[in-house]
Amino acid sequence: MSQPLAPDWLHEPPDANELHPALWPANVARNGAGEVEVGGVSVSQIARQVGTPVYVVDGADLDARARFVKNALTAPFVDRGMAVTCYYATKALLSADIIKRVMAHGFGADVSTMGELRWALAAGMDPHHIEFLGNNKSLPEIRAAIEAGVATIVLDSIQEIARVNDAAKTFGVTQEVTIRVNTGVHASTHEYLATAREDQKFGIARSDLDSAGEHIASASHLRLIGLHSHIGSQIFVADGFVEAAKRLLVDYARLQATHPLRMLNLGGGFGIPYTPSDPAVDLEALATELATAVVDTSQELGIELPDIAFEPGRSVVGPSGVTLYEVGTTKQVVVPSDSGDATRLYVSVDGGMSDNLRAALYHADYTAVVASRVSSESPALVRVVGKHCESGDIVVDAAYLPGDVTPGDMVMVAATGAYCHSLASNYNVVGRPALVIAQGGEIHTSLRAETLEDIMGRDVGLGLSGTPGENT
């Protein structure tokens, strides 16, 4: 029987217990008892050890993915005579373990705040492998980045040129910088994920580039070494990247007359599947198309091939992470529709928009399963919702789970490695969940769960806290 409340892309699966291989990390599987294991650890054991909700990263999957992404983005350019630097976008997910793992696979770090900078440095990232970007860097952030000795600062406005120059002068260094260019490329993705349209806050417009170049040329302590573009996130096809690279190269060729340019940073933004209807990105083919375009355009413009940089985040960590929740209540809700009344089963879990904001922010879709057991019950259309005081507190807008899903079951959501923990909040005074890495039959806590003491300790009026902290 068709379900009028189901979105067009969602099809009722023959078996709601199935783990779609394209959506789950490589080491997620059901054991003989039907319970899901991540990295050889059962979900009930994870819940016993660290509680729920909890973010779980499949460690071996993350290693394989980091290796794959680095190689896919690098090889086609190296084969054509270009050097490539890959900066991991720390905004996707940040912990010492994550930094160490991506570092081991040859990534540097892209940071955009004091917090990300300090955290990456504290985790052992070499400052020479760090790039600092952001559309509104504070003076303390600029100074800290220069003092640490970061490889490049990505300039995002004309005003920032004098600020970075003054800070570099204070430290007596010449700071290498690139310019984030608003290429005007309309990436095919959600409006809030497209970052190079005309009407948004990032970058310097192409029409202002020559003026920016002149300001930098007259700045005593800056060296402009390249141009940068990040057209958006969750993009599946090469055309936007190719168009941005071509536009950047035209500007690069012109600015080379007055600046020692050598670097073209093509950003991040490579998409990942969240549901069975999302396409899989062929990253190797995409990078090959891009490398060919860079070679062809450079030849047409008569310039030497640039060095290339990328800043992937989601494609490195997103698919390796899952979130585990415990079901608290279920509710059958009758919804009137054009074709008569239909029923949607609301499944409330012990987290929500505080640990995954993406549904509320972008109407992002996700895939979920009941992880603690298998069921022979027919699939029911469910909406997995959280425990927060918002009707938009949705974790999975539409999914088919076994119709007997019940309080006490554990629900597992796929592809939550990126932009879930990093966008998490304390809404309704809920602590952010722990992040654990599961591998080889063991779990390792990378970030402990936030406690009520952590949160309430900030309230000076309660007399629980120490010195009020600095805010940069």
Ligand X SMILES: Cc1ncc(COP(=O)(O)O)c(C=O)c1O
Q: Which residues are catalytic?
A: 389
**Min. distance of Cβ 237 from ligand X in angstroms?**
14
Q: What is the dihedral of CA 245, 248, 253, 258, to 10 degrees?
A: -150
Q: Is 313 in the site for ligand X (CB under 6 A)?
A: yes
Stretch that binds ligand X, among 84-92, 331-339, 351-359, 405-413 (CB under 6 A): 84-92
**Min. distance of Cβ 234 from ligand X in angstroms?**
6
Q: Which of 37, 311, 350, 409 binds ligand X (CB under 6 A)?
A: 311
C-beta of 348 vs 416, nearer to ligand X:
416
Q: Is 314 in the site for ligand X (CB under 6 A)?
A: yes
**Min. distance of Cβ 315 from ligand X in angstroms?**
6
C-beta of 268 vs 351, nearer to ligand X:
268
Q: Is 107 in the site for ligand X (CB under 6 A)?
A: no
Q: Distance of CA 445 to CAs 107, 232, 257, 442, 448, Å?
A: 22, 32, 52, 10, 6
C-beta of 204 vs 371, nearer to ligand X:
204
**Min. distance of Cβ 268 from ligand X in angstroms?**
3
Q: Is 315 in the site for ligand X (CB under 6 A)?
A: yes
Site string for ligand X, 194-223 (x = CB under 6 A): -x----------------------------
**Nearest CA among 67, 51, 79, 26 for reference residue 320:** 26
Site size for ligand X (CB under 6 A): 18
Q: Is 226 in the site for ligand X (CB under 6 A)?
A: no
**Min. distance of Cβ 227 from ligand X in angstroms?**
13
* Whether the bond into 276 is cis, omega within 30 of 0: no
Q: Which of 70, 137, 215, 230 binds ligand X (CB under 6 A)?
A: 230
Stretch that binds ligand X, among 4-12, 89-97, 184-192, 400-408 (CB under 6 A): 89-97
What residues contact 103, with CB distance under 8 A and at least 6 apart?
Answer: 124, 125, 129
Q: Cα 61 to the chain's mean position, in Å?
A: 16
Stretch that binds ligand X, among 40-48, 160-168, 289-297, 308-316 (CB under 6 A): 308-316
Stretch that binds ligand X, among 311-319, 358-366, 370-378, 424-432 (CB under 6 A): 311-319
C-beta of 144 vs 235, nearer to ligand X:
235
**Min. distance of Cβ 55 from ligand X in angstroms?**
16
Q: Which amino acid is at 343?
A: T
C-beta of 234 vs 297, nearer to ligand X:
234
Q: Is 76 in the site for ligand X (CB under 6 A)?
A: no
Window 264 to 283, contacts with ligand X (CB under 6 A): 267-270
Q: Is 137 in the site for ligand X (CB under 6 A)?
A: no
Q: Is 402 in the site for ligand X (CB under 6 A)?
A: no
C-beta of 187 vs 411, nearer to ligand X:
187
**Min. distance of Cβ 177 from ligand X in angstroms?**
15
Q: For residues 321 and 317, what is the distance between their CA atoms, to the nearest angstrom?
A: 7
Q: Which of 62, 86, 133, 249 binds ligand X (CB under 6 A)?
A: 133
Q: Is 233 in the site for ligand X (CB under 6 A)?
A: yes
**Min. distance of Cβ 358 from ligand X in angstroms?**
12
Residues in touch with ligand X (CB under 6 A) = 89, 91-92, 110, 133, 195, 230, 233, 267-270, 311-315, 418
